């Protein structure tokens, strides 16, 4: 499918998201609202998380056991009881940085007919890797026509 446009739209907003301790928080609806506000029908939505101890993931949005299994796997993979050199911010900080390095701080999603082209069972999540709640910022940049 080829779409010809004479004008490229660039739309940008920053979402502030409240997280809970070590959680996956779905915010797909907020990104879709930004796409609708942009007026872009065909394009690309880029997301960038401005933090180093949380991640962005696109994952299953129907069965919460998937998210729990992922969290448990990463807790086993990157344990907090290991001796890390960087420990001034608490025992959860360095493992959070490693978990972020193993996942993503950015995602790109096509826009088709004015909607995110996510699959039926996909949702966009911020994955808080720290022991306490935080305010996290995601830059949403939408390009298209």
* Paired tokens of 44: 């690309």
Whole-angstrom Cα distance, residue 17 to residue 40? Answer: 23
For 85, which DSSP code? S
Residue ranges of the domains in the chain?
Answer: 9-144
Cα-trace Rg, the chain: 17
Asked if residue 45 lies in contact with residue 31, where contact means CB atoms within 8 angstroms, the answer is: yes
Calculate the alpha carbon distances from 33 to 7, 53, 86 in Å.
22, 26, 39
Q: Which pLDDT band holds residue 6 (cuts at 50, 70, 90)? A: low
pTM of the predicted structure, to 2 decimals: 0.93
pLDDT per residue over 17-75, tens digit each?
999 999 999 999 999 999 999 999 999 999 999 999 999 999 999 999 999 999 999 99
* CATH T-level topology, domain 9-144: Jelly Rolls (2.60.120)
pLDDT at position 3 is: 56
Question: What length is written for the chain?
Answer: 145
User: What are the tokens at 76?
Assistant: 């086993």
* Cβ contact 49:103 at 8 Å: no
pLDDT tens digits, 84-120: 999 889 999 999 999 999 999 999 999 999 999 999 9
Q: Is 44 helix (H, G, I), strand (E, B) or coil?
A: strand
């Amino acid at each position: 499918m080829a779409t010809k446009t004479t004008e490229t739209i660039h739309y940008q907003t920053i979402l502030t998201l409240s997280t809970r301790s070590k959680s996956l928080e779905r915010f797909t609806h907020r990104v879709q609202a930004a796409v609708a506000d942009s007026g872009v029908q065909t394009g690309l939505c880029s997301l960038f998380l401005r933090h180093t101890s949380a991640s962005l993931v696109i994952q299953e949005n129907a069965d919460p056991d998937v998210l729990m299994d992922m969290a448990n796997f990463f807790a086993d993979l990157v344990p907090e009881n290991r001796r890390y050199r960087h420990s001034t911010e608490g025992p959860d900080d360095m493992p959070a940085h490693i978990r972020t390095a193993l996942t993503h701080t950015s995602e790109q999603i096509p826009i088709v007919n004015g909607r995110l082209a996510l699959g039926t069972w996909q949702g966009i999540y911020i994955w808080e890797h720290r022991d306490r709640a935080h305010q996290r910022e995601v830059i949403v940049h939408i390009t298209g026509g």
